[in-house]
Amino acid sequence: MHKSPSVNSVRILSTMLVIYRRVKKQERYLKSYLPNLLVNIVPDYEQTFTDKDIKRITKYWQLALNLVCDNVYKLTGSALSGEEHKRIILLSVFGPLFDDLFDDHILNYEQITSLVTGPEAYLPINKTDKLAKDIYLELLRGIPRRQHFIGHLQAVAHWQQESLKQSDNTITETALQEITYKKSYYAVLLFCALLDNYPDQKILEILYPAAGLMQLTNDAFDVWKDIHKGVYTLPNLYRNLDQLQQLFLAETSAINQRLWQLPYPVKAKQTFAIIIHSLHAMGWMSLEQLKQVTAGVTNIDELKQLSRKELVCDMDSLQQQLKWLRHIRTFTNYVDEE
């Protein structure tokens, strides 16, 4: 790895402390804001959403807001409006419901396509798709580019459908990587489509590899859960962990080189990089742990014998958090000069 001295450890720590305080404040804010936002859409709010649902919505929202929407806006010198914040929260409620339509086999692909392309005419068959329809219609009433948003949601639906192939252990490594990247990228673009100012092509070229690494990070952390649910991913099926780490480095270098070429203030570009790579650094740490514990593993059945503690990267200890900060700095400054 080649490091640039441009972003030091103090800058990394101060940025992550700001994010930490922001995240804690956001959790309290959403708990009080959601019932009021959804009062006309979900009259029986407390019966509809469990604590587990709220936790899932909050995680969805914080990733979309902090890593994507707010991060892109601050890079370009913009600020999110109140209406944009409202749309981001609505989509963070809609997103998990939309995922469930696929994952829980509530609707088939044709029914989901019908909901996406013609929500006004769509006739719900149960509570989940009725709620999804109502929130979707509320979203469409406020977004600046309706057809653009619908087009992105169609792409999300397509790659969600393709991701069902991940239940087949004969799926190729190439197909897995394409699904991994594109289902994440179009989910990111869906949030971008809510914004008054859609990212330009140069920023989209940064978001594609960034989104791919986000999903790979998620897959690395979810190895234990996925193997017991019969979901196959690059980290659990092919276990080419050295190759995945090389992919992380190549994509990190590409992100940074494209980012530094943008015509924005240096400090804004550094902050964007720190925030986006904070997640990628966690993925790297998870891959490191998987390399150690799966060294003698030759197949999925052997992988299933490993405990949750062995397969899930614990980020709670001070030692791990210090290591994480070091990795964020390395990723933020990394450029492959060869």
| Same domain assignment for residues 233 and 291 | yes
| Same domain assignment for residues 285 and 272 | yes
What 8-state DSSP symbol labels residue 317? S
| Same domain assignment for residues 256 and 110 | no
| Same domain assignment for residues 313 and 171 | no
pLDDT of residue 3: 42
Q: Cα separation of 140 and 138, whole Å?
A: 6
Residue 32 lies in a domain: no
| Same domain assignment for residues 178 and 228 | no
Tens of pLDDT, residue by residue over 76-110, are 999 999 999 999 999 999 999 999 999 899 999 99
What is the SS3 assignment for 316?
coil
pLDDT of residue 338: 61
Residue 21 lies in a domain: no
Q: Cα separation of 254 and 258, whole Å?
A: 6
Last residue of a domain, one of 179, 196, 213: 196
Amino acid present at 314: D
Among 96, 190, 112, residue whose Cα is nearest residue 152? 190
Last residue of a domain, one of 155, 172, 196: 196
Residue 158 lies in a domain: yes
Q: Cα separation of 19 and 14, whole Å?
A: 9
| Same domain assignment for residues 152 and 210 | no
Residue 109 lies in a domain: yes
| Same domain assignment for residues 116 and 246 | no
Structure tokens at 266: 């240096």
| Same domain assignment for residues 59 and 95 | yes
Residue 31 lies in a domain: no
Residue 186 lies in a domain: yes
Assessment of whether the complete model's pTM goes beyond 0.85: yes
Structure tokens at 276: 């986006």
pLDDT of residue 6: 83
Amino acid present at 71: N
Last residue of a domain, one of 196, 218, 248: 196
| Same domain assignment for residues 181 and 206 | no
In angstroms, how far is CA 212 from the centroid of its own chain?
9
Among 287, 281, 335, 213, residue whose Cα is nearest residue 19? 281
Q: Cα separation of 176 and 238, whole Å?
A: 10
pLDDT of residue 227: 97
| Same domain assignment for residues 242 and 333 | yes
Structure tokens at 73: 């806006």
pLDDT of residue 299: 94
Q: How many domains in the chain? A: 2
Residue 284 lies in a domain: yes
Q: What sections of the chain are H helices per DSSP?
A: 9-37, 45-48, 51-62, 70-75, 82-103, 109-117, 127-142, 146-163, 173-192, 201-221, 223-229, 241-260, 266-293, 300-304, 308-311, 318-333
Angle at 75 between CA 77 and CA 68, to 5 degrees: 120
Range of 313's domain? Answer: 200-338
Q: Cα separation of 230 and 178, whole Å?
A: 19
Mean pLDDT per block of 10 residues along the chain (338 residues) reads: 68 97 95 90 85 94 97 98 97 96 94 98 94 96 96 98 96 97 98 97 98 98 97 96 97 97 96 98 98 94 96 96 97 88
